[in-house]
Amino acid sequence: MTANARAQVRLERDGDVAVIWIDNPPINAGSAAVRAGLLNAIDEVARDERIVAAVLIGAGTTFIAGSDIREFGQPLAEPQLPMVIAAIEACPKPFVAALHGAALGGGFELALGCDARIAAPETVVGLPEVTLGIIPGAGGTQRLPRLVGVPRALAMICSGERVKGAAALAASLVDQIAEGNLCNAAVAHARSLAGRKHRLRELSVLAGEPQAVADAVAAALKAGKNRPAVVAAIDAIKASALQDFDTALAGERAAFQQLRTSREASALRHQFFAERESAKHPELLGAATRTVQTIAVIGAGTMGTGIAIAALDAGYGVLLLEQDGGALDRGGSRIREHYAARVSARKMATDVAQSRQESLRTSLQWNDIAEADLVIEAVFEDLDVKREVFARIDGLARPGAVLASNTSYLDLDAIAAATSRPQDVIGLHFFSPANVMRLMEVVRGQATAPDALATGLAVAKKLGKLPLLTGNAFGFVGNRLYAAYRRQCEFLVEEGAWPEQVDAALQHFGFSMGPFAVADLSGLDIAWRMRQAQAATRDPAARYVHVADRLCEAGRLGRKTGAGYYRYAEGNKPMVDEAVHALIEQARAEKGITPRIISDEEIVRRVLLALANEAALLLAEGVASHATDVDLALVNGYGFPRWEGGVVFWARERGETALSADFAWLAEISGPGSRIGDPRPLLASSR
């Protein structure tokens, strides 16, 4: 037994019960050293005649929150987890898993390999491996159906569902909830087993009704977009009811080993580590956060009410402010309807919904801003309007309050200059709908104080958001990327593709929607206003496609007007419109462009290159904090397929030489005004 294994796993005795502590902070990841330590401890339990039972428990704040994900891209070191679980099952003495914090993935599989599971009330259990492109590989797909049945196991494993406390007990995922001292309760339960083993492998699979299984499979495939890990998980779970345990277990392990080295699993691990990296901000180390208990939201439109709901759900007191009584009434109604719908759908208890609504106050009195610790402006996206609002906030907000703009592309410094305290001003760019979308950009102004910025990041996390720290530049990170994406798609249409071909090619690649369908959904006038705002500073020699402007001038603003790039009838189904084709052909003719056939492969390649090139420019300008923030923005805000990792992941696969040549080719084909980014910052990994 190595010193590292001894340090991470230690065996203590509580009379005749062994208490095996797993101590691998911060999350007790199931590393090779932990597995080796467990195997040695299990062997000691088996050999010591004075021990009648054993308890597995995590030191610190959690049980085992999962395996060490860094191992998955490499040959797995011995002993592997199935060997540890087999040793527990082979040991004649019962093992009790004492769960607290998180027992996820391999941690929960280890618990399922024990003879009983005792949990603290706040414990979360689950098998979320499919979210990393793999399946449970240590018996999770075989033991879980023996506890909860095949249909429920399909739903849990194929979605990566996490189940908490009382719900876990009700579902038989744990045997007991320990309200007091967890270790003492687990030791008492271990003694009560009187030496009897309760191996899940010896139970019959709860197969379920054929229709219930079929429905669960269909739901899993639909929600999981038929991804390989979901398909493999379904096959493994169904095998639990069709094959003997050891045969099905071997099949599960083989599928796990094949999936973990796949490109898709690598891409999903890239996303996982990108989220970790996004939280690292050395320049903010030591910056204290300001106290935030009450949030004022100015503007009761769709965005403002969405922000208010997000804040209420996070436990903040919320003041929703408007200057128009009718708008305030409509905003209040939207919030009430939201909570009524949650209760009706049984996604929220009535008393919880009531409590959250009681934390909301609506007002037409601007003086009420004085009670807020954080003021979030969510008014019309116009610089003059926002400056006027901030000048008014400046005279009313209490000293030390953080003042935030929800602007999606405007100059934060110009907004902050309308106040006497630019050090308190930050950007909090919520994505719509604000209470649903996980991505948030936290924008640093030139004068923003570190503690104001740290407060914005902390609030974003409490709201359940994925915050990306960005510099102040037009469009920040997300909308800069999307503008480059949209612009390249417009070039492709100008050169010979049709909007519907571009949309179909990118949807086939994995985008949730194509860019032209998205434009119609959000409204073409939004991007039109952005282009108008930039018109004075646009290089007149730069290539510019007028098709979208012509559509707007014709009143074709998207779904809301029944026509944009597509026509819309009942059901809002997009239909190809020959009038749009004619408009595009006219625009090509005016520029003397002879259309050519463009393949779907070229469409995807040029879009990825345009995004990667823009990412390189954002890094060079210091707008993005980390290269991988680009991939988080695309996946969480713009429908980029998570299983493709992102454009930085793709760029790193291509390498510097190929990417440099590709960027030069893209600039040449894109025409005047194109800038070529340096690919090297994209390729530098921080891990």
Tens of pLDDT along 88-133?
Answer: 999 999 999 999 999 999 999 999 999 999 999 999 999 999 999 9
Please tell me what DSSP assigns to residue 382: -
Q: Which two tokens stand for residue 668?
A: 């040449």
Evaluate if residue 209 carries a pLDDT over 80: yes
Helices (H), strands (E): how many in the chain?
A: 29, 19
Evaluate if residue 3 carries a pLDDT over 60: no
Question: Is-contact 81 137, C-beta < 8 A?
Answer: yes
> What CA–CA distance (Å, rounded) separates 660 from 609?
10
**Exactly one of 44, 89, 122, 129 is catalytic; which is it?**
129
Evaluate if residue 522 carries a pLDDT over 80: yes
Evaluate if residue 71 carries a pLDDT over 80: yes
Class of domain 479-683: mainly alpha
CA distances from 618 to 396, 471, 594, 678 (A): 36, 9, 34, 10
pLDDT, mean over the chain:
95
Q: Which two tokens stand for residue 304?
A: 């403002």
Evaluate if residue 1 carries a pLDDT over 80: no
Please tell me what DSSP assigns to residue 376: E
CA distances from 36 to 105, 192, 278, 524 (A): 18, 28, 32, 59
Nearest CA among 480, 526, 485 for reference residue 629: 480
For residue 527, the model assigns a pLDDT of 84
For residue 229, the model assigns a pLDDT of 97
For residue 535, the model assigns a pLDDT of 82
For residue 570, the model assigns a pLDDT of 77
Please tell me what DSSP assigns to residue 544: -
Active site residue 109: yes
Radius of gyration in angstroms for the set of CA atoms belonging to the chain, rounded to a whole number: 28
Which residue would you say has higher pLDDT here, 645 or 686? Answer: 645
For residue 686, the model assigns a pLDDT of 58
What is the Cβ-side half-sphere exposure of residue 178, based on CA atoms within 13 angstroms? 22
For 54, the 3-state DSSP assignment is strand
> What CA–CA distance (Å, rounded) separates 394 from 438?
29
For residue 248, the model assigns a pLDDT of 97
Q: Considering the entire predicted model, what is its pTM? A: 0.92
Q: Which two tokens stand for residue 583?
A: 């408009």
For residue 6, the model assigns a pLDDT of 65
CATH among 3.30.365.10, 3.90.600.10, 3.40.720.10, 3.90.226.10 for 3-261: 3.90.226.10
Question: Is-contact 155 117, C-beta < 8 A?
Answer: no
Residue 25: Cβ within 10 Å count: 12
Residue 319: Cβ within 10 Å count: 22
Looking at residues 173-196, what average pLDDT do you find? 96
Evaluate if residue 436 carries a pLDDT over 80: yes
Residue written as token pair 């409590």: 355
> What CA–CA distance (Å, rounded) separates 383 from 414?
8
For residue 128, the model assigns a pLDDT of 96
User: What's the fold here for domain 292-472?
Assistant: Rossmann fold (3.40.50)
CA distances from 178 to 56, 182, 189, 607 (A): 15, 6, 10, 54
For residue 564, the model assigns a pLDDT of 96
Total residues belonging to the chain: 687
Active site residue 570: no
Q: Which two tokens stand for residue 584?
A: 């595009």
Classify the C-alpha dihedral 67-73-79-82 as positive or negative.
positive
Residue written as token pair 């454009």: 647
**Exactly one of 49, 71, 78, 109 is catalytic; which is it?**
109
Confidence of residue 69 (pLDDT cuts 50, 70, 90): confident
Q: H-helix or E-strand containing 96?
A: strand 95-99
Binning the chain into helix, strand and coil, the percentages to the nearest 5 are 55, 15, 35
Q: Which two tokens stand for residue 134?
A: 């793999």
For 574, the 3-state DSSP assignment is strand
Tens of pLDDT along 325-382?
Answer: 999 999 999 999 999 999 999 999 999 999 999 999 999 999 999 999 999 999 999 9
> What CA–CA distance (Å, rounded) separates 263 from 413?
42
Tens of pLDDT along 246-272?
Answer: 999 999 999 999 999 999 999 999 999
For residue 75, the model assigns a pLDDT of 83
Looking at residues 495-518, what average pLDDT do you find? 97
Looking at residues 552-561, what average pLDDT do you find? 94
Tens of pLDDT along 190-205?
Answer: 999 999 999 999 999 9
For residue 177, the model assigns a pLDDT of 97
Residue 196: Cβ within 10 Å count: 10
Looking at residues 487-509, what average pLDDT do you find? 98
Evaluate if residue 532 carries a pLDDT over 90: no
For 606, the 3-state DSSP assignment is helix
Residue written as token pair 């809301």: 560
Please tell me what DSSP assigns to residue 67: B
Tens of pLDDT along 271-326?
Answer: 999 999 999 999 999 999 999 999 999 999 999 999 999 999 999 999 999 999 99
Tens of pLDDT along 210-243?
Answer: 999 999 999 999 999 999 999 999 999 999 999 9
Looking at residues 21-33, what average pLDDT do you find? 93
Q: Which two tokens stand for residue 181?
A: 């001292």
Confidence of residue 639 (pLDDT cuts 50, 70, 90): very high
Each domain of the chain, given as residue ranges in start order, spans 3-261, 292-472, 479-683
